[in-house]
Amino acid sequence: MAHDFDEAADQPVLRTTDHDGIAVVEIAGELDMKTAKTSLADVLLVLDQRPNGIVLDLHSVTFFGSAGVSLLVSVQQESRRQGVPFGIVAAHKAVTRSLTVSGMESRLPLFPAVADAVVALRASSAPPQR
């Protein structure tokens, strides 16, 4: 799912790529009170497709407020409800600062890079070895 940047609406750009069944949703731009609801709806549409895992890649997020934190918690709750492994790539200071201040950095599945998240989610969604 890709959205073109809309200057008037200041909506972030979302791009979804498939990594062998793991959906990686890259979000670029600002996640604030004006944009988080639309972004959440878009991410939940990806989750509703029941991928083997979902990664939110926030490396291109330029502003991340409390609405962004709420978005991550909502996606985490829904992914658990659906049984879909979930991870977040949050290496950008705009994101990590808000997660640290809110105390959520220890409660969310954070990874330094997309490759790390994909490997971890693939392992967690793999059928047990017999």
Q: What are phi and psi of 55, to 5 degrees?
A: -120, 130
pLDDT band at 103 (very low <50, low <70, confident <90, very high): very high
Residue 121 has pLDDT above 50, yes or no: yes
Are the C-beta atoms of residues 55 and 18 closer than 8 Å to each other?
A: no
Cβ pair 61, 30 in contact under 8 A: yes
- Does residue 66 or residue 129 have the better pLDDT? 66
The answer to whether the CB of 62 falls within 8 A of the CB of 35 is: no
- Dihedrals phi, psi of 35, to nearest 5 degrees: -115, -20
**What's the CA angle centered on 86, arms 1 and 5, to 5 degrees?**
30
Confidence of residue 93 (pLDDT cuts 50, 70, 90): confident
**Tens digits of per-residue pLDDT, 5-36?**
444 456 789 999 999 999 999 999 999 999 99
d(CA 97, CA 72): 14
Reply yes or no on whether the pLDDT at 2 is more than 70: no
- More confident position, 115 or 3: 115
Please identify, in words, the CATH class of the domain defined by 13-121.
alpha beta
pLDDT by residue (tens digit) across 35-86?
999 999 999 999 999 999 999 999 999 999 999 999 999 999 999 999 999 9
Q: What is the dihedral of CA 57, 60, 64, 70, to 10 degrees?
A: -20
The pLDDT score that the predictor gives to residue 5 is 42
Q: What is the pLDDT of residue 127?
A: 58
Angle at 62 between CA 81 and CA 44, to 5 degrees: 20
**Residue 97 — pLDDT band, cuts 50, 70, 90?**
very high
